[in-house]
Amino acid sequence: MNGFSCNENGYQSSERNLAMEALGYKVFNDSVHGHITLHPLLVKVVDTPEFQRLRNIKQLGFAYYVFPGASHCRYEHSLGTCYLAGQMVEKLLSREQQQRTSEEKKKITLYVQLAALCHDLGHGPFSHTWEVVTKMWNKSESWKHENASIEMLDHMLKNKNLLEEFKKYNLEEKEIKIIKQLIMGGPDIMKNEKPLLNSNNNFLYEIVSNADTGVDVDKWDYFLRDGLHLNLRITFDYHRLLEFCRVMYTTDKMTHIAFRDKEMLNLYDMYRVRSTLHYTAYRHRVVLNIELMCVDAFKAAGDAGYKINNSDIELRKAHQNAASLSQLTDHVFYDILYSSDENLAEARKLIQRVLKRDLYKLVETVNIPVDETTSRKQKQNEIDSKKSRLLEELKESYGEEIKFGVVDFYLNLDSTSDPVRNVKFYKKTGPTEPILSQGIEEIQKLLDPLPFQLVKDVNAQLLVFCKTPIDEKEKELEKAREIIRNFK
């Protein structure tokens, strides 16, 4: 072990614990991973207001209002992801062919763990919900929490004198830039960035955020953590993936993470778990309904000029810079609820309706085909266009008398081909050579028929909600149902 994590049982000798505590190491008792020990620099980051802010941002947003156990926050998820990143780096470095010094291994492990620890710093209130809220104010704005995490890291380093702490462990400006690229899963193509890691270290981009395969420690932690708090059984075993992962060069002459061929079924199970979580919890109809109502409430509050924390910071602009985002958490929900400001009456009423379970009425659902040959972004644009068109048709029939909202249920998992198509595999007899596509097909035949059916998301479901309370006018929705059923 390199000193950044406890042993597999979560315990260390008392002598070692005392020595590590004196050096600034800290033990966290995590609900998923047990006792984990963090490096002193990681502890310094944890003890900043920017990181502590994550205690007040729910991991699953408004799923908590449907699943009472889903009260966990981005704080503990970030700790867990940091721990898993350390575990994976340690396993990979111990099995690679190239020789590294002990100091180099410690340095690599540290900056990968820092990336994992800071990867969610930029989340807004109720996690991914805030990305929806920001689009309500400005449809052309593509605000993403990953970019905001980079800005928050810069803000934290600038204002909390952490730069000097980083330098104590030989983490200079270059390493900080590497940390940012690791958070993003690689260099920012939109900014024409070049990779800061050479071909020998390219595999490090695949640990925290793997855009190529989706197999990364961020997902491993939230699968386990969300499953625990949602009371859903998660069957996939990341421990086996850690035991059977290694670094190898592939045809692009770059290093990548590869897994033993026999772990293909375990990876299929990982993708199935992701689909199950979406269908069972993340995209639960009532969760979508409550999220829609609260998005409307936040938009109404922002449009009414609501300013957070009695400051001059407008809610609708608070996400645009790190200084104001650092003051923005889930507390805005209750701040609006308990406000006596008459300008917030509309927003307050919507939140009160949520708490009284007086939700929007689900009118009808309709499945629409999605072009499988297009990219993920094109698919989502196609769905957004159809949502807008359906709302226009309903508005033409009802005007402003009855208002509707449309939410889509589409996993957008790019299911036109096999989910493991980009994952690298190796055989026991050839641990340094990746298996070519023909060999992967042979492994898949051994798994056929699979013990489960992978979700194929060729259709998107549109859920139409009536925002106007019309209990006494139920018949007035029959025309809306007919429009929705006939929508193409």
Q: Which residues are catalytic?
A: 145
Taking alpha carbons only, the member of 346, 321, 300 closest to residue 133 is: 300
Are 50 and 155 spatial neighbours (Cβ–Cβ below 8 Å)?
A: yes
Max distance between CA atoms of the chain, in angstroms, equals 75
SS3 405: strand
Taking alpha carbons only, the member of 95, 116, 108, 129 closest to residue 185 is: 116
Name the token pair of 468: 């106007």
Positive or negative, the CA dihedral 464, 468, 469, 470 is: negative
- Distance between CA 429 and CA 411 in Å, rounded? 37
Classify residue 320 as exposed, middle or buried by CB count within 10 Å of its CB (0-12, 13-18, 19+). middle
| SS3 of the chain: helix, strand, coil, percent, to 5 | 55, 10, 35
- Distance between CA 443 and CA 378 in Å, rounded? 32
Classify residue 198 as exposed, middle or buried by CB count within 10 Å of its CB (0-12, 13-18, 19+). exposed
For 16-41, b/e burial (b = at least 16 CB within 10 A) is ebeebeeeebbbbebebbebbbbbeb
Cα of first residue to Cα of last residue in the chain, in angstroms, is: 58
Name the token pair of 140: 């052309």
Bridge-based pairing of strands 361-369 and 459-466 is: antiparallel
User: CA geometry: angle at 131 spanning 125 and 461, to 5°?
Assistant: 115
Are 260 and 425 spatial neighbours (Cβ–Cβ below 8 Å)?
A: yes
Q: What is the per-residue DSSP string for 65-125?
A: GTSTT---BHHHHHHHHHHHHHHHHHHHHHH-SS---HHHHHHHHHHHHHHHHHTTTT--T
Question: What are φ and ψ of residue 35, in 5° steps?
Answer: -80, 120
